[in-house]
Amino acid sequence: MRFSIYRYDPDKDQKPYMQDYDIVLEPTDKMLLDALIRIKVFDDSLSLRRSCREGVCGSDGMNINGRNGLACITPVAGLKEPVELRPLPGLPVIRDLIVDMTQFFKQYHSIKPYLINNDPPPETERLQSPEERAELDGVYECVLCACCSTACPSFWWNPDKFVGPAALLQAYRFLADSRDQATAERLDNLEDPYRLFRCHSIMNCVDTCPKGLNPTKAINKIKGMMVKRTV
């Protein structure tokens, strides 16, 4: 199978280049990550992040034939050859397929991604009704792989100011949580022409999400909450 992979080692290379690989896959190499690990048998200088290899850790997000996705849950079978692999767009490249996620996580931290509840902790758990719990379906599953944010032009142009689809989905995850008490502060934090309103609903995030989530819908729900408290 033929691959064309983005290579860049800032210590050695003047600029990035594409390297071609022609390798024979074993029958067990079902997913793209398996193929990449096979390539590393022949060329161990190729660098990439991976950990759980089953789409839960979100480490191996990359641009696969022009679309962001997780290598470990992308079957090699349907891929057009040569398979063109590039690092996630819009973030600084550390080496080969590894990008610097600092900016992405800065935005994630800026939305306070934890439950804020000032009541004394109860004896057991903070309970939710099944309906309240159902509000979190489709928003809590995000693995923070950055596929969506790095597919978003608004995040490319303003990664320092626009929160980005991934962190906005998480912002909504806590806005939607019946146990959270910081709704007003969270909305205040997002009510900004850059932080939230750079989103123009072009839905690249929905198109690319490897977990099948819908950040645009969550963002529109945040806007809806703002309309509700303002109008």
Partner 1 sequence: MVKRIVTGAHYGLLDWLAQRVTAVVMVIYILLLVVVLLIFPPNDYAAWKTIFGNQWTRITSFLFFVSLCWHAWIGIRNILMDYIHETGIRLTIQVLVILSLLFYTVWAIDIMWS
The residue ranges that bind partner 1 (CB under 8 A) are: 153-154, 157-158, 160-161, 188, 191-198, 200, 223, 226-227, 230-231
Instruction: Please name which of 35, 39, 40, 45 lies closest in space to residue 7, comparing C-alpha atoms.
Output: 45
Q: Both tokens of residue 78?
A: 């349907």
Q: Both tokens of residue 64?
A: 């696969």
Residue 78 or 193: the one with the smaller Cβ distance to partner 1 is 193
The minimum distance between CB 230 and partner 1, in angstroms, equals: 6
The minimum distance between CB 104 and partner 1, in angstroms, equals: 15
The minimum distance between CB 101 and partner 1, in angstroms, equals: 17
Residue 49 or 161: the one with the smaller Cβ distance to partner 1 is 161
Question: What is the torsional sign of CA 218, 140, 187, 132?
Answer: positive
Residue 48 or 168: the one with the smaller Cβ distance to partner 1 is 168
The minimum distance between CB 222 and partner 1, in angstroms, equals: 10
CB 231 within 8 A of CB 185: no
Residue 10 or 224: the one with the smaller Cβ distance to partner 1 is 224
From its phi and psi, is residue 62 left (phi > 0), alpha (psi between -120 and 50) or beta?
Answer: beta
Which amino acid belongs to residue 134?
A: A
